[in-house]
């Protein structure tokens, strides 16, 4: 059981590192596609964390023998939440990707600083006229 505890700790730690890198990617990357990839990674790591939280007996001895070859009983509520979250995340990614495509067609770039500087220059030119 000690190996199992170490593996669970490593799994949770890797999820936390992945979520931290995804948050860093959302906050620091100027490209919208990279932000979208980081947002998807953050959503996937959150779904994995919720699914992992669904185990009723994470450590120690099982209160009952395994059922039909499954080593642990699993709570179905987190599984249903993960399925719902995956569907919502897919819809969000599709909407954001279509917005990014339209923005690229209109502005010619997906870099937020470049787009904002261009908009600022255009606004200053409009004020001068």
C-alpha torsion angle, residues 25, 26, 29, 32 (rounded to 10): 130
Q: What is the pLDDT of residue 69?
A: 60
From the list 117, 110, 116, the residue with the least C-alpha distance to 31 is 110
CA distance 36 to 44: 12
Number of domains in the chain: 1
Q: What is the pLDDT of residue 9?
A: 87
pLDDT value at 114 more than 80 = yes
- Give me the pLDDT at residue 70, please: 59
Q: Residue 42: give the domain boundaries.
A: 2-128
- What pLDDT, on a 0 to 100 scale, did the predictor assign at position 93? 94
* Chain segment 52-96, per-residue pLDDT in tens: 888 765 555 555 555 566 566 677 888 889 999 999 999 999 999
């Amino acid at each position: 059981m000690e190996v199992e505890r170490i593996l669970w700790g490593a799994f949770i730690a890797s999820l936390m590192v992945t979520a931290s890198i995804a948050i860093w990617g959302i906050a620091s990357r100027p490209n919208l596609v990279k932000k979208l990839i980081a947002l998807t990674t953050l959503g996937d790591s959150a779904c994995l964390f919720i699914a992992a939280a669904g185990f009723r007996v994470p450590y120690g001895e099982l209160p009952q023998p395994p059922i039909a070859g499954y080593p642990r009983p699993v709570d179905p509520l987190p599984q249903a939440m993960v399925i719902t979250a995956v569907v919502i995340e897919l819809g969000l990614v599709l909407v954001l990707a279509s917005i990014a495509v339209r923005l690229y067609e209109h502005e010619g770039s997906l870099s937020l600083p470049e787009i904002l500087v261009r908009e600022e220059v255009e606004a200053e030119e409009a004020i001068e006229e």
